[in-house]
Structure 1
Amino acid sequence: MKTLFFLLFILSHMYSYTFEQVKEFEKNNSTLKSISLYKKLIEKNNTNAMFHLAKIYIQGKEIQKNINEAKKLLEKASELNHNKSSYLLGKLYLSKKTHFHNLAKAYNSFVKAANNEYAPAQNMVGQFLVNGIAVEKDYKLAVKLFEKASKQNYIDAQCNLAFMYASGKGVFPNFGRAHQFAKKGKELGNKKCIKVWNDFNLAKYPEDKGWKFNFYTNPEN
């Protein structure tokens, strides 16, 4: 029955199916039967299909892992300014489990997505700057990037800001502000926020009530 549905699907959607339709087909049938459909979308420069198929190759879901093909797809999607692909490509370069490991290329890939206001990439570039990975340390610029990601309600960036305010890196130390930035992440179980909270004993410091914290925690309009 599934094979029959697969054939009918191809015949009826040969020139009109969307990425969402193929994902639904994959969900109801199999990843293996969906790959050719994703490839058809990729021929039309569908970046979502590129990204999704790259993840399939990385995970080896129903097929053999193929990191080389995944990298090619991510590079192509990144060139088309697909932020998730630029970010995942950066993570691929960051991994020591592949022969693509290259910190400079990882940094540049994260920067590309960060420049497009992609919060996870902004947060990652900030961490590179804090730790001096592939670039010189720049705490002030790191804080600015963490702030941009935080304004998009990216919790990990708020945890990083909590650390910056607690340690006084790039900003004047403010434990009350660090308390505010770490509180939500701690309650959500974010390990980084929990560590900052405990390492600096932020529970004993009152929140910085005089500061407009919502400006940094609510998504930007």
Structure 2
Amino acid sequence: MSERVSIPNALANRAISGNAEAQFELAELYMQSEHEDDIILAEEWALKSADNGCVEAMYWLGEGYTVYAKELAEEDPEESKAHFELGYYWLSKANMQKHPAATLELAGYYRRGDVIEKDVEKSVKLVKQAAELGEVQAMRDLAFIYANGLGVDVNEEQADYWTEKAEALTSK
């Protein structure tokens, strides 16, 4: 049996009083545990944080639900679908707040057609939005999309532009 996570009183008090950042910090602490009750508490605190407007919590939940949905896809399609729906919901909310990584993850929903109608054009638009928000992986993806004409016309100039932009950010 794994040990439970130790929570600082000051953090717990801030979280209980409704501080969204403290709630998310608490969720992340609980997630570090392997104890099942702590994992449940991690989700509960992340949901409170996201409901209180913490965009990082929205992304964290969206990404987590998406990963879990993919793991469940073969063995329990209905449960997987429910988690994809939750992932889509939270990623969409984070995207509205212009969270770059959430926007890129959301693009995957449109590319794959997870719980929404497949829409390659919308997917490419979201990848571009994430790239413009500074998401380096989105820049690399966009360069690949333009170089190979995936949902767009081949455009070497755009492919080079996004490759150079990504390289400039990663070489700093």
Which TM-score band (shorter chain)? 0.7 to 0.9
From 30, 43, 57, the counterpart of 1:57 = 30
- Partner Cα separation in structure 1 for residue 12 and residue 63 of structure 2: 23
Match of 1:163 in 2: 144
**1:149 and 2:134 are equivalent in the alignment:** no
Residues 98 and 133, structure 2, Cα contact 8 Å, conserved in 1? no
Q: How many residue pairs align between the two structures?
A: 156
Larger RCO (CA within 8 A; separation ≥ 6): 2
Residues 91 and 106, structure 2, Cα contact 8 Å, conserved in 1? yes
Match of 2:6 in 1: 32
- Partner Cα separation in structure 2 for residue 114 and residue 168 of structure 1: 25
From 81, 84, 93, the counterpart of 2:56 = 84
Question: Under a length normalisation based on structure 2, what TM-score does the superposition of the two structures give?
Answer: 0.78
Residues 147 and 159, structure 2, Cα contact 8 Å, conserved in 1? yes
- Partner Cα separation in structure 2 for residue 81 and residue 33 of structure 1: 22
Q: Secondary structure at the match of 2:6?
A: helix
- How far did residue 33 of structure 1 move? 5.8
Q: Secondary structure at the match of 1:32?
A: coil
- Partner Cα separation in structure 1 for residue 166 and residue 40 of structure 2: 36
Amino acid across the alignment from 2:46 = L
Per-residue Cα deviation, 1:80-134 (whole angstroms, up to 9, x for no partner)? 2211001111122123379985112111110111011111111111122122222
**1:70 and 2:51 are equivalent in the alignment:** no
Residues 58 and 90, structure 2, Cα contact 8 Å, conserved in 1? yes
Amino acid across the alignment from 2:16 = E
**1:45 and 2:7 are equivalent in the alignment:** no
Identity rate, percent: 24
Match of 1:26 in 2: none
Gap runs ≥5 in structure 1: 1-30, 190-221
- How far did residue 183 of structure 1 move? 3.5
Amino acid across the alignment from 2:25 = H
- How far did residue 167 of structure 1 move? 2.6
Gap runs ≥5 in structure 2: none
Return closer, same or farther for 1:41/1:146 CA change in 2, 3 Å cut-off.
same
* Larger helix share, 1 or 2: 2
Amino acid across the alignment from 1:58 = M
From 98, 112, 115, the counterpart of 2:96 = 115
Coordinate RMSD, CA, aligned? 2.5
